[in-house]
Amino acid sequence: MLRNFDPNSYEGFVKAFLPKSGLDLNFYKQNQMQRRILSFMNSHGYKTYPEFLKALDLDRQLYDSFFKHLTINVSQFFRDFNQWKTLRETIIPKLVQGKTSLKLWSAGCSSGQEPYSLAITMLEYFQAIRFTVLATDIDANVLHQAKDGIYKHQDFASTPPELLKKYFTQTEKGYQINDNVKRAVTFHSQNLLTDRFDTGFDFIACRNVVIYFTEEAKELLYKKFTESLRPGGILFTGSTEHLFGLNHLGLQPVSSFFYQKHGK
């Protein structure tokens, strides 16, 4: 039986926003998400959900800004550098044993810093290995920025200067990623919670994406990731995202924030 929600309630907003955006806010923790929505509404002068929804329909720039606010698109190249060092020195060498190619995926890639960091790592340190990098995100605007490949100085706070110099060209607009890196990454729009995934990945990075997901949504997502990994493949999570209590999914920790699928 379908429920009718008060349009002035949070539940009413969630129901009305879904067909506009494809984003089901029921998968997100209500308290945190409601605070983010109300904060955005207040800062833009909207007092009721129906008034705000109408404005979202009429003002594409407002909608894009709000969607970006909801999906928390914050990233840097080589964010949490010590974890990238572990990836380079331990995880990828483990993955390439007996292989000549790797299939990599950056899930929730934001504006491209993470998948390009993966590509740079492979180009710099694993030149004998062929690889592909899939990069997906639900926000079409950040994907457009990622495909342009132009970044600001603050995006490189964790980037070794020699890599910045080698793989980027400084321009009037910022730092343009070089074509050999750009060609290594394929960007696609994707809703992680509702879309089907490809399979056979050696490595999946999904970092700082599930921060506001409900526990049920997290389990659903990690189950889908596990099914998409090949046996022995590895999932890389964010620095606040420990996979406690999910051993039944067939993942075991091999280092902090790195989890390997059972089998070979």
pLDDT of residue 168: 98
One-letter identity of residue 190: Q
Q: Is the pLDDT of residue 232 over 90?
A: yes
Backbone φ and ψ of 128, nearest 5°: -85, -5
Place of tokens 């379908």: 2
CA 145, CA 140: separation in Å to the nearest integer?
9
> What angle do helix axes 60-71 and 140-148 make, rounded to 10 degrees?
90
For residue 121, the number of C-alpha atoms closer than 13 Å in the C-beta half-sphere is 25
Instruction: Determine the pLDDT at residue 245.
Output: 64
Which residue in this structure is represented by tokens 């998968």? 27
Alpha-helical (H) ranges within 44-182 are: 49-58, 60-71, 81-86, 92-96, 113-125, 140-148, 161-167, 179-182
Domains and CATH numbers, the chain: 10-71 (no CATH), 81-261 (3.40.50.150)
Model confidence at 264: pLDDT above 80: no
Rounded Cα–Cα distance for residues 249 and 137 (Å): 24
What are the respective helix, strand and coil percentages of the chain, to the nearest 5? 45, 20, 35
Q: What is the pTM of this model?
A: 0.85
Tokens of 16: 């009305």
According to the model, what pLDDT value does residue 1 have? Answer: 39
pLDDT band (50, 70, 90) for residue 208: confident
**In this model, does residue 244 exceed pLDDT 70?**
no
Q: What is the pLDDT of residues 121-165, one digit of tens each?
A: 999 999 999 999 999 999 888 999 999 999 999 899 899 999 999
What are 159-199's pLDDT values in tens digits?
999 999 999 999 999 999 999 999 999 999 999 999 999 99
**246 or 193, which is more confident:** 193
Task: Give every CB contact of residue 88 below 8 A, 6+ residues apart in sequence.
Answer: 121, 125
pLDDT score at 24 = 87
pLDDT at residue 209 greater than cutoff 60: yes
pLDDT digits (tens, 9 = 90+) for 33-71: 899 999 999 999 999 999 999 999 999 999 989 988 887
* Mean pLDDT computed over every residue of the chain: 91
pLDDT at 2: 45
Asked if 232 and 200 touch (Cβ cutoff 8 Å), the reply is no
What mean pLDDT comes out for the span 109-129?
A: 96
Query: Rounded to whole angstroms, how far apart are CA atoms 7 and 122?
Result: 50
